[in-house]
Structures are given as structure tokens and as C-alpha cells.
Amino acid sequence: MQNLLDAKFDQFIEDFKLLGNSKDTNWNRFVNYHFFSQFQPGRFDTDADLLDQICVDSPEFSEIRGALFLLNDQILSNPKDIDDILQRDQKGQLELYFLGFGDEEALMQQLEKLFASLDAEERREDWIQILSYAMSRKIVLRWKDNPVLKVVIYSNNGNTDKINFKDIFYHWFSDIASIRINEKRLQGIIHSNENNYQAELELKSASLIPGGEEKYGNAYITCMSAQELIKLTVTSDGLLRRNMFDDNVRDFQGDSSVNQEIMSTLEKFPERFVLFNNGITIVCKNIAAKNGKYVLDSPQIVNGCQTCNMVYRAYRNGVNLNGVQIITKIVGSDLEAVTQGIVKGANRQNIVYEQAFETIREFHKNLEKYFEINEVHGYQKIYYERRARQYVNNFQIKPQQIISFRGLIQSMAALFLNHVENSHRHEYKLLKEYKDSLFVDVHSYQPYYLSALLYLNIDRLFREGKLPKRLHRFKMHIMLLVKEMKCGPSPELASDDIDKYCEQLHKSLEGGKLMQMAEEACEKFENIADKWIDLKGPKYQYGMKDSAEFRRFLMKEIHGVSNEKNEDKLYTGNVMNVNLDKRNTLYGFIEHAPDNIFFHEFDNPDMNQSYAGKRVSYKIIRNGSQERAINVKLVESQKEN
């Protein structure tokens, strides 16, 4: 007879198609998956490459069974993530997590060896490459402080001895701590990740809010102490329950000016915090008074993400929070319409469009629906996970059927923007660079859907061993070749011809034909790569993945031309202003990165002052170093399919 954890383990093996692996290998993967999912809920469901990376299988470091690194609370999946995050945040706080099973002394010895010889390590494994770069002098100079080291020990033997490293080891870190988990604790982590747990809070003077009919639920308004908020939002291992913010439209905004003010108040004027802060809103399936306390089922914080994160930071930094009170509204209802109404109402006054909030736009909501109603014959149905973990409770939808925003923007950069060399970059970087070229209201949904279909199915073919393992790191290039070899170069996303092109690609894939197309693409890629190395020299084999020059060479070998797109490229953006010059003719500027684009009535005779504040499409022409927009036309929103 199975217990609950056994059943979860078997379900995990089935979902991730791991039946061919040994039980020990799968258990290692299972523990890594659930423990590290606490840092970014849902990430490993849609990024199996990252899950492979953190599940360490190293002959030299055999006691290290899991390794995950965070920079400013962001999971690092490749060294370039470090550059992208530091470009945005300027300074970084590094957190290093290593997971082992049982033999603590051997694990500590291997960690001492790893860090003592890190500069000399042959960086063959992805996790060592990331760690080496994060600890290099170039990056060390941009640390806020020395890294935090957390050693995670999975064991059921009850040992709670303190870990002990050599004295020199403590010199390298600002803090070293151990986290111990066993079977019971792992089960609690799984419940927490699934947001399937109860919180019991002490709330003084909680007032029931009259809310009409009882069937819609109940609500309380209260002042919650910081200690109770910590108890609600922090696990027994001291980790923030990040999945508690899944329904919050805002992610944590880091060291913004507002958050710095929150921290300053917590540190200097804790007793005034309740006066200065807007408070938080919690929704849960049910709230009930019990023995002087309040029990919340499956709570979600839908407004107050910044407040909760800063209270958590203050708690971790040792700030005295005894005098801190937070105004709190708690709504208990199991009706979806009610909880969604609370989410919208709690955030309506605060939503500001920023890059971090891209997926709350209507385009993404409609795109999510488009995925749900479409399917290509011969392939599993696929889904766009617009919000983290939105399909976690639907057991009919498997992880390999789901694409995240990260995977979608990466695949679109590779397939339809002709920048496969950038496709592995951090989604923040890609969105910043291509914000005028992707997810535009006028765009058809077809290219987004087909790029996701290729991304998920090419990845599946590699994982099932049906494509050469040596080419897995070039899977984006293989996807691009599948498309280009079958249908040729794609038109611009805003072009009237894009639907016709996508219908041709759709038809070519029907009936499970991707396998043969992918095999042909792999063979073609290897032939072209060999030709490239013969032409450029052996050292050029190492930089192909990131090389725009290799991408141009690849396209030239396929089509006879490099397929570079310059002045024919169609952009979109918002008109900042429209004014009259001294000759009484109209001119204006369009938002564009890195510099805004000038446009004039001379090039655009149909323009008028009503263009101000509206979204337009345009092309760019250059005269020396000067650029201006031509063919400026108003963009009409894409209608729902």
C-alpha cells in the first residue's frame, strides 16, 4: 500500500516521463524539484533544461546531488543571466544552495574542494560554469556582500549536528547555514508548493465586514503583527512562500524607491508603519475563528507583495519588528468569481504598466485562450502558462504540454525575429530589447502558437533520445532550420502575409511529420557547422550558439543569402507627441529603444494631431547617423479569435 508521498513520487515519474531511470536517480530529481520549486513556483514545470542542470551528476562531486544559485532572488540558468540581472540592478546578492543525501562530512569536504579550486576547474558542467562566473573577479566587484551559502541535507536519520567547515571556508561567505529535510518535511514542502495548506493566525480585534449573502463568503479587517505575517509567509526553513503571491498582478520590484522607503520605515519608525503603509489583502478558500485564532485555507496575498517582501527582508536582516503592525483585509470565499473580483479590486488603483507586468496585458489573455482552443493533428495539445502554476491542479495537463512566458519569448526571438543567437537570454533582457517587435496588439496569434509547438516538441524529441544529444544545446537553431528549410524566411509579424505563412507551416507539421523534419534539420546543421569550423578554424566551434555571424552563415547556406532585415523591418510603438513646427507642418516622436524616433508630415501626409498617445506601426530610414520614421500608420487591436 502506498502513502501520499509514494503516490506523489509515482505521479512525478509519469509526468516527466522518467520510467527508464533508476529509482535513486528519480528520487534525487524528485527532491530537487520540490525543494527548489519554493524559489520560483512553476519554473521547473516549463523549463526541464534547468531541472536537468540543478540535478547534479558529477563523478568528482558525487555528494553534491543538487545545486541552485540565486542572484537578487532570480534563478541563474546560464552565465549570461548574471550580466542581464546586474545590468538592471547594478549590484547583486548571491545565494548558493547545495543539496546532498545523508553523508554530511563527505559533502562538506567536496564543497571545500570545489571552492578552493574553482578558478582551476575545467568548466564542463553548466552549474560549475555559472558558479565560476558568479565568483569571478569581474562579478565579485559588483556584489553587495559576500555570498550566502545554504547546505541542504535530506536524511531520515534524525541527525541535527551543526555543519563544520574549515576556518578559511567561512572567510568566503557572509553567512553559512544548513537546512535539514526528511520525508515528513518534504511532504510539507509539497503541500506548501501546491498552496494546499492551512495557516493559523493570532489576530487581535479582527472585525467582521458585512458582506451581504453568506454564500459569497466572509471578510475581516484587522491589524496583523509583523511576527504573524512572517509566520504566514515564511517556511520553517526560513524561505519565503513565493507561491503565496501567484495571484498578485505585481511581482516583487526589488530595490525600488518605494521599497527603500518601506525598509527605512521598518528600521527607523516601526510604530508608524501602520500609518504609512496601505496594508495587504489576503484571499483564501475559507476563514474560520477557532479557539481565539483564525484558520485560513490555501491563502493567497493578492495585494501587498512589496510590503510582504520588505518585511521578509527586514526579518532576514535582523531588524526588530516587534512594533510593526500591518492593516490586513482577509476574504474567505471558494467562489472563483468572488476571489477574482477581489484580485482586480485590490490592484486596480495600483497597476502601472512595466516590463515585469507584460503578461497581464489583453494580448496575452487572448493568446492564452487561442492556445486552449487550437490543436495540431498528430501532437499533444499545448497550453500557454501566462501566470505561474495556473495549470498545477489540472492533472490532465502534463508539464511537457506547457510553455511559460520565458520559453515563448525565447522561441519567438529565435524563429520569427531572426535572432536565434539571443534566444537563450533572460526574458527581462529580451522583452526590453524587442518590446516594439513582440506581443503587439495587431499581431496574429498563429506565429506565437507555432513557435511554442516547435519549442515543446523539439525539446521532447531531444529528451526522448530521438535526436542527437550532442546537439541539444543548439535546439533553438534546429527549430529555426525546421521552419526555414520547409517554408523559407518568414514575413514580418505585422505583415498581412504572416497568417498565410503560418498556415503553410502548420500544414507541413500535421500528422507528426516533425520527427523527420527535425532529423533533416540536425543533419543539415552538422554539415553547416563542420563547414563553418573548416572555414574559420577549430576555436570557432565553441562560440556558435551565441554568434550572430554564425547565424548569418547558417541562413546563407540555407537560402543563398543571409536574410538580414534592415529598412524593410516593421516596428510598432506609442506616439509620444505631435506638434507644429515653424512652417506649420506636423512632426512628432515615437517611443523607441534606445532612442525615440522622429517623424514628420513630409514623410507621412496622412498623419494628424490625433496620433498623439496612440500606437502606430512604422519603418525606419537612415540618413548618415540620423533616423526617422516613415509609413506611420495607426494600429488597430487584434480581435479575439
Residue 281: exposure state from Cβ atoms within 10 A (0-12, 13-18, ≥19): buried
**Of the given ranges (262-276, 390-404, 602-616), which has the lowest mean pLDDT?**
390-404
Predicted local confidence at residue 507, as pLDDT: 96
- Give mean pLDDT, residues 499-526: 96
302, 321, 154, 292: which is closest to 231 by C-alpha?
Answer: 321
Predicted local confidence at residue 4, as pLDDT: 87
SS (H, E, C) 159-217: CCCCCCCCHHHHHCCCEEEEEEECHHHHHHHHHHHCCCCEEEECCEEEEEECCCCHHHC
Structure-block grid coordinates of residue 563: 536574410
Helix 4-15 to helix 23-36 angle (10° resolution) is: 100
64, 75, 160: which is closest to 112 by C-alpha?
Answer: 64
User: pLDDT tier at 349 (50, 70, 90 boundaries)?
Assistant: very low
Query: In whole angstroms, how far apart are CA 197 and each of 183, 189, 232, 641?
Result: 17, 10, 11, 38
User: pLDDT tier at 213 (50, 70, 90 boundaries)?
Assistant: low
DSSP β-bridge partners for residue 71? 74, 94
DSSP β-bridge partners for residue 237? none
Predicted local confidence at residue 355, as pLDDT: 46
- Give mean pLDDT, residues 298-305: 87
pLDDT cut 70: percent of the chain above it? 89
CB contact set of 448 (below 8 Å; sequence gap of 6+): 367, 370, 384, 408, 412
**Of the given ranges (179-183, 308-312, 571-575, 637-641), which has the lowest mean pLDDT?**
637-641
* Mean pLDDT across the chain: 87
Predicted local confidence at residue 393, as pLDDT: 61
What is the C-alpha to C-alpha distance for residues 473 and 469, in angstroms, rounded to an integer?
8
The 10s digit of each residue's pLDDT in 175-209 is 999 999 999 999 989 988 887 778 899 887 788 87
The 10s digit of each residue's pLDDT in 429-484 is 898 888 889 999 899 999 999 999 999 999 999 999 999 999 999 999 999 999 99
**Residue 518 in this model has a pLDDT that exceeds 90:** yes
**Residue 352 in this model has a pLDDT that exceeds 60:** no
Structure-block grid coordinates of residue 504: 503553410
The 10s digit of each residue's pLDDT in 219-263 is 889 999 999 999 999 988 888 888 888 766 666 777 778 888 999
Residue 452: exposure state from Cβ atoms within 10 A (0-12, 13-18, ≥19): buried
Helix (H, G, I), strand (E, B) or coil at 330: strand
**For 48, which DSSP code?**
H
**Residue 390 in this model has a pLDDT that exceeds 80:** no
Predicted local confidence at residue 121, as pLDDT: 58
Cis peptide bond prior to 594, omega within 30° of 0:
yes
Q: In what order do the strands lie in the sheet with 293-297?
A: 198-201, 293-297, 286-290
**Residue 334 in this model has a pLDDT that exceeds 80:** no
**Residue 602 in this model has a pLDDT that exceeds 90:** no
